[in-house]
Structure 1
């Protein structure tokens, strides 16, 4: 028994050592002490970014769209035959069903940005406006009645409506973005706004990490920059990288430029407009604030 326990302990310690060496703490839960960052002027060998574009993301299949008959199914109605108030979609949901909801609301001018697939405060506000127009309880969540009325008032979104190539509209800036020099990054609107003393200087579309490798949220600062950098973990290019949280960085992604939101990063903030990011890279300085928020 003692010999078996010793073997198990050695295996666990070895696995932990490998994880720390690889810098694999995408959720911020790692307990190892991070290595000191390299100089601000360029990346030095040995730094450990945790991101590069993935190549395994696939566009959602047609079956991922919200089933148009769900709200009128027998399971979603009470015995009297009236539509159920059961919640179908609401705050915090993130999937292709939400994307279709947003695209339909956008057709009716209730949602004024590109669909993101995330149900947050802006989507809830758009749903409330639609419900008010239809004389429904203004809950901000989608039940069977709300969805059925939305179906009757809109048409099935096209692929371009679900994932348009146009630039996303900026979110209301987080209060922490209103002073100083800030990269203000919204997960809900999927945008990055470069702000100086509360004024938006430039903005661009961004993409984040997947559920398994999420982009950390919070208040950070630009730790160092590298105009030409290649991930030491994934061995993929990360041009115009601005690192802000133990290997996570804002950087250009050729994959994002080619496939849009069909893919995801390993935790970094991907930008698809190379020209905009190149100009931003020249303006941002180490020490500038980075705010990542919903």
Structure 2
């Protein structure tokens, strides 16, 4: 009550009501046994109302779980295969075998990003290049001949190569990030780059919402900040929250720090490096730009 009174006196009744409505949509990590206390009516701007942003065209789906061995998707595999040749991995598929493929392609200097287990545009392009270099049909999908050739020219990846602990490599910035003060957030590389006038000041790994509760894409502004915040729906801590789209915020996630990409948020942009985010929180101002893109 004391906190609400301070907000009302400082910002006015209308603004305080708007912030309260926004805060109720605050997100938290998704786990198999997490059951949020549902509000009596849909909260304004809740991430469930947003259109899904996951796409099979890019590596590293937002908020995907750690991939488990599974059969490749027949619908995506058939579209890029050569006649009469059945691919075993193709655009849109997800598996541990794809994670191994990506690690081997990285050994061969055909990709620079860390393995994700998701077969998207970067993997497709790398496979096409490999196939062209070795006299194979450049379909962009992996058939048995391509897989055997990749294996013969690379070694079995180590656990660290499959799931490297290092920071993800930052994508080329979106054009909207090149002017002013911007948190430039790439879903494909799973990175946040803090940029000022086109120059990268700092970078950090991030995690996104699941396909059911996607992180919204677009250009936003930091609406408000809270060094200490607790989700009013999921009752989990959200330190260093910087809200940019109603209930969605950039914030530290202890779950992300502990489990990595084996989980997802409910729409927020999770950061696992608390030290880096603490420094960023002190630098970012209300009104600074936020760009979320593929």
Question: Given the two structures, how large is their TM-score scaled by the length of structure 1?
Answer: 0.73
Specify the structure having the higher radius of gyration (Cα): 1
Correspondence list, 1:40-119, <5 A: 47-56=23-32, 59-61=66-68, 63-64=69-70, 84=85, 86=87, 88-90=89-91, 92-119=92-119
Alignment check: 8 A CA contact 1:225 1:240 kept: yes
Question: For 2:21 and 2:66, how far apart are their aligned partners in 1?
Answer: 35
Question: For 2:269 and 2:179, how far apart are their aligned partners in 1?
Answer: 22
User: What residue is the counterpart of 1:225 in the other structure?
Assistant: 225
1:142 equivalent in alignment to 2:142: yes
Q: Judging changes above 3 Å, is the alpha-carbon distance between structure 1 residues 243 and 268 closer, same or farther for their aligned structure 2 residues?
A: same
Alignment check: 8 A CA contact 2:87 2:141 kept: no
Correspondence list, 1:167-178, <5 A: 167-178=167-178
Q: Please give the per-residue CA displacement for 1:140-196, whole angstroms capped at 9, x wherever unaligned.
A: 343443233223323443332222111111111111111111111111111000011
Gaps of 5+ in 2: 1-12, 34-64
User: 1:253 Cα deviation (Å)?
Assistant: 0.6
User: 1:137 Cα deviation (Å)?
Assistant: 3.6
User: What residue is the counterpart of 1:131 in the other structure?
Assistant: 131
Question: For 2:14 and 2:223, how far apart are their aligned partners in 1?
Answer: 10
Question: For 1:231 and 1:137, how far apart are their aligned partners in 2?
Answer: 52
Count of residues in Structure 1 that have an aligned counterpart in Structure 2: 244
Correspondence list, 1:10-21, <5 A: none
User: What residue is the counterpart of 1:196 in the other structure?
Assistant: 196
What secondary structure sits across from 1:255 in the alignment? helix
Q: Judging changes above 3 Å, is the alpha-carbon distance between structure 1 residues 227 and 149 closer, same or farther for their aligned structure 2 residues?
A: same
User: 1:260 Cα deviation (Å)?
Assistant: 0.9
Q: Judging changes above 3 Å, is the alpha-carbon distance between structure 1 residues 46 and 102 closer, same or farther for their aligned structure 2 residues?
A: closer
User: 1:95 Cα deviation (Å)?
Assistant: 4.9
Question: For 1:182 and 1:204, how far apart are their aligned partners in 2?
Answer: 14
Q: Judging changes above 3 Å, is the alpha-carbon distance between structure 1 residues 258 and 37 closer, same or farther for their aligned structure 2 residues?
A: farther
User: 1:86 Cα deviation (Å)?
Assistant: 4.7
Gaps of 5+ in 1: 1-34
Question: Given the two structures, how large is their TM-score scaled by the length of structure 2?
Answer: 0.73
Q: Please give the per-residue CA displacement for 1:57-103, whole angstroms capped at 9, x wherever unaligned.
A: 97544x3487xxxx9xxxx997xxxx71658312x555544433211
Question: For 1:214 and 1:234, how far apart are their aligned partners in 2?
Answer: 16
User: What residue is the counterpart of 1:28 in the other structure?
Assistant: none
Q: Please give the per-residue CA displacement for 1:239-274, whole angstroms capped at 9, x wherever unaligned.
A: 001111121111001111111111111111110100
